[in-house]
Structure 1
Amino acid sequence: MMPARLLASLLLLLLLPATPSAFALDFKSVGAASVILYDTPSAKGTRMYLAPRGMPLQVVSSYGDWVKVRDASGDLAWTQARGLSAVRRLVVRTPGTRVYAGPDESSQVLMTADKGVVLDLLDPNAAAWARVRHRDGIDGYVRANDVWGL
């Protein structure tokens, strides 16, 4: 007979593939004001840099009122959770990213975005293409490989 702990572990492994949302990445964006990113979950920690309003961040973990986040360059830091917003944004990571009228490259090009441009994510269920809006009101699609924050 199999020990109970081993049996429970095997059952958990069998159930995990059935719950992909449990592994979904948690993205937030910097709220109405810029936030300071620290090396530790404390305002007494070393200030690493100032994250501008709207910047997307991946929430990695939380500790009390603090969250550990990853930025588009992969750097990890801590910030206070209250400074983040649930609004989803993406940042362009490929220079000259094209925003298309439809989700394919044969669609009309509406604009070209430079690396670092922040776009609002309009459809959180994006796969190969993400529906986005630029702050100037242009609404279109970008290839998911050209942006960070999904």
Structure 2
Amino acid sequence: MRPIRFRHRLIAGSLLLLASCAAAAFDFKTVGAHAVILYDAPSTRSGKLYVAPSGMPVEVVLSYGDWVKVRDATGDMAWTEAKNLSAKRNVIVRVASAKVRSAPDENAPVVMTAEKNVLLELVDPEAGNWVRVRHRDGTSGYVKASDIWGI
């Protein structure tokens, strides 16, 4: 009887661990309509690190009151007020040249090529191997998820 209880507890513990990992999904946001100053601590009196341009994608790694600690595409971390971020999602091209295709298929026609650091709007947040994106000029299509940052 004892080995069965142990096995049930082990299975239950494993399921809880898996559930907690799924709940810790990445939380990406975008810098809102105006550029914002990013700080080295959660206060406007702390050191100013740099200015984040409007539309820049960031990963929220920690919330502290009205402030959030964010990571940018280069891995740098900084603080900003949560009100400065938008739920609208942008991604940034992280390879030298990303091909945006008409369909989520390597053989689909290329509708545009996006160079490194180009911002693209995330049209569909469901990320698989391919992600649907839109350029600011209106061109939309699918890009490989491995070619972008912000999902």
TM over 0.5: yes
Q: Hey, what's the Cα distance between the residues in 2 that align with 1:59 and 1:10?
A: 32
Query: How many residues align structurally?
Result: 144
SS of 1:17's equivalent? helix
Gaps of 5+ in 1: 2-7
Give the corresponding residue for 2:120: 119
* Shift of residue 18, structure 1, vs aligned partner: 3.6
SS of 1:116's equivalent? coil
* Shift of residue 75, structure 1, vs aligned partner: 0.5
| Percent identity (aligned) | 56
Give the corresponding residue for 2:76: 75
SS of 2:29's equivalent? strand
Q: Hey, what's the Cα distance between the residues in 2 that align with 1:10 and 1:37?
A: 44
Q: Hey, what's the Cα distance between the residues in 2 that align with 1:79 and 1:18?
A: 30
Gaps of 5+ in 2: 3-8
SS of 1:111's equivalent? strand
How does the TM-score come out when normalised to structure 1? 0.90
Query: Segments of 4+ in structure 1 off by > 4 A?
Result: 8-13
In structure 2, relative to structure 1, the CA distance for the partners of 1:130 and 1:11 (3 Å cut) is same
How does the TM-score come out when normalised to structure 2? 0.89
Q: Hey, what's the Cα distance between the residues in 1 that align with 2:45 and 2:10?
A: 41
Letter in 2 for 1:22: A
SS of 1:16's equivalent? helix
Letter in 2 for 1:128: N
Give the corresponding residue for 1:22: 23
Alignment of 1:1-150 (within 5 A): 11-18=12-19, 21-150=22-151
Larger CA deviation: 88-97 vs 9-18: 9-18
In structure 2, relative to structure 1, the CA distance for the partners of 1:10 and 1:65 (3 Å cut) is farther
Deviation digits for residues 97-128 of structure 1 (CA, Å, limit 9, x no counterpart): 11000111101101111111111111111111
